[in-house]
Chains A and B, each alone.
Chain A
């Protein structure tokens, strides 16, 4: 039995107008990602992978085409609706972590719940729980400056997970880490995947993409290849 479809796009198109020129960043991407898939989106710069990530992450809206996230049509949504979708369905992990420097790990992780209107006590419990999941149970009251790069990215992952999102969307998650720490983060992703998390990683590094079970390569705004690899890791 196949898992439910989490992401489905149909002729997803994005155009930017730059002066007199129109840049067609995405020229019609058809994509289907199911629950608990572990996908790497690859491509050289200018291939449209960042644009695709922004659209999948509901940070941006397509010029044309359709996008269903958890069977909800997202393409025509207004700002506030998109914010709510991002809050509930998507967990972002950024290359530069993007943590609040003056806030504790716990507060950083709580942030999405604050915008989700979750009561303080419940927030605290959930944040503690996910910090435990990423192995930072003993670092909750530390500020980012007091944490190593790998620990910071773990905090960011915890923040991404705290709302129990439909997809974890990571943009070059190891780009600012040394290779060993990067491998640790990839190990963490592997663990999360094994517990049923759907993960989409955008990267240009083949090593990183190797960890994923499905590799989608973009070129010139279109899907060039879509390969399943190592489907048996879960066993």
Chain B
């Protein structure tokens, strides 16, 4: 018998008992469905983290000098206390880095707080993301205005009360009115609006457009931090190699400024996108290891169900198998038939699981800002897993069927 004939027989058999076939592969369907769903979500998260999150928080070829790590995993109280004892970063630190760097790079500072804005019309917006930054901040963050202009180094140095609004804040405060040249009070301190940023979108569920950015030396500096203190110093180089060089220089400049002895460890952090991603990568690696194990269990259970169904099916069809042997089927024909049937059953289950899993991923994509991405190789892996489970589950029933004695099988009730 040709393998193609075995496949046709198997399909006919599966189709003739659709409901039973469906129930026998529920385990495989569920296992594969969750595999595909979780992998698409995790891969989507991965892509999101790489493309959006890390880009937004850190930026390309950019490093951030901070007092303590921005992503803190398993830190104990002692560690915390030690971070709290570290000196704060200052505007002078930023100036020293700018002056001391041999590697060409842009340097900026940024400080954050949350605050409220009030327009000259009396409209108030709270929960606004306030930023005090130096002028290169916009270039490092790759932000530009939609209307108006950004502030420059002179305005920063002079500490003028000018502000660039996020598109959402501008909309809320002024509606259809032109916000340029108007006054907005930031926590009751008046600033003049000089620009509105291009919309930035969302990070997870957090809007990036409800914000106000003013020069670091303006009153905004005091609204975000004690005088002359900054949260982050940003340094952007032209490429990863230059960034690495800048990183070493900054480390020695900062160590000198903090008067650290050679045996003392750094009292500041230098982070790039990789550091924050390390946390996520650990998380996703755990998912990628733990999850397939769970799927594996589901598939083993699914396989056992299939094996039982196939054993029952072989018993039910003893006479049929006897007849097939009588009309000339060889033992390997029977073996092949049952194996292909089992594999076909399981593959059909895997295919349904893939479809449902993709559906679930799409649903998550629709309900959250995270994209669902699943590599084609995962679909192939899932399909192959389905076939393998079916073949493995089919071996025992198929062997039993093929070893039937035709004389005995034909007499079976």
Q: Which residues of A line the B interface, CB within 8 A?
A: 54, 57, 59-60, 79-80, 83-84, 86-88, 92, 94, 96, 98, 100, 102-103, 111-112, 114-117, 159, 163
| Among candidates A79, A87, A94, residue contacting B331 with C-beta atoms closer than 8 Å | A79
In angstroms, how far is the closest chain A Cβ from the Cβ of B298?
A: 31
Bound complex: CA A96 to CA B319 (Å): 10
Which parts of B327-346 form the interface with A (CB within 8 Å)? Answer: 327-333
Q: Size of chain B's interface in residues, with CB distance under 8 A?
A: 23
Cβ-defined contact, A159 with B327, below 8 A: yes
Q: What are 7 A-to-B residue pairs whose CB atoms are below 8 Å? A: A79-B330, A83-B331, A86-B325, A94-B323, A98-B323, A115-B1, A163-B328
Q: Mark B1-41, 1 if CB is under 8 A from A, else 0.
A: 11001000000100010000000000000000000000000
Within 8 Å of chain A (Cβ to Cβ): is B159? no
Cβ-defined contact, A80 with B327, below 8 A: no
Bound complex: CA A90 to CA B327 (Å): 8
Residue on A nearest B326 in the bound complex, by CB? A92
Bound complex: CA A111 to CA B406 (Å): 16
Q: Which residues of B line the A interface, CB within 8 A?
A: 1-2, 5, 12, 16, 319-320, 322-333, 405-407, 410
In angstroms, how far is the closest chain B Cβ from the Cβ of A193?
A: 21
In angstroms, how far is the closest chain B Cβ from the Cβ of A92?
A: 5
In angstroms, how far is the closest chain B Cβ from the Cβ of A86?
A: 5
Cβ-defined contact, B324 with A111, below 8 A: yes
The number of inter-chain residue pairs (CB within 8 angstroms) is: 64
Q: Is the interface of B mostly helix, strand, loop or mixed?
A: helix
Contacts of B325 in A (CB 8 A): 59, 83, 86
Cβ-defined contact, A59 with B406, below 8 A: yes
Contacts of B333 in A (CB 8 A): 115
Contacts of A94 in B (CB 8 A): 323, 326, 410
Contacts of A111 in B (CB 8 A): 324, 327
Cβ-defined contact, A114 with B1, below 8 A: yes
In angstroms, how far is the closest chain A Cβ from the Cβ of B98?
A: 81
Bound complex: CA A35 to CA B328 (Å): 22
Which one of A92, A98, A112, A114 has the greatest number of beta carbons of chain B within 10 Å? Answer: A114
Bound complex: CA A115 to CA B331 (Å): 11
Cβ-defined contact, A87 with B327, below 8 A: yes
Cβ-defined contact, B329 with A115, below 8 A: yes
Cβ-defined contact, B1 with A57, below 8 A: no
Contacts of B1 in A (CB 8 A): 114-115, 117
With A80-B331, A114-B1: A59-B410 Cβ-Cβ less than 8 Å: yes
Contacts of A100 in B (CB 8 A): 320
Contacts of A159 in B (CB 8 A): 327
Contacts of B320 in A (CB 8 A): 98, 100
Residue on B nearest A85 in the bound complex, by CB? B328
| Among candidates B319, B323, B328, B406, residue contacting A88 with C-beta atoms closer than 8 Å | B328
Which one of A96, A112, A115, A116 has the greatest number of beta carbons of chain B within 10 Å? Answer: A115
Contacts of A87 in B (CB 8 A): 327-328
Contacts of A80 in B (CB 8 A): 330-332
In angstroms, how far is the closest chain A Cβ from the Cβ of B381?
A: 34
Contacts of A103 in B (CB 8 A): 12
Contacts of A88 in B (CB 8 A): 328
In angstroms, how far is the closest chain A Cβ from the Cβ of B189?
A: 84
With A102-B12, A102-B16, A117-B2: A112-B327 Cβ-Cβ less than 8 Å: yes
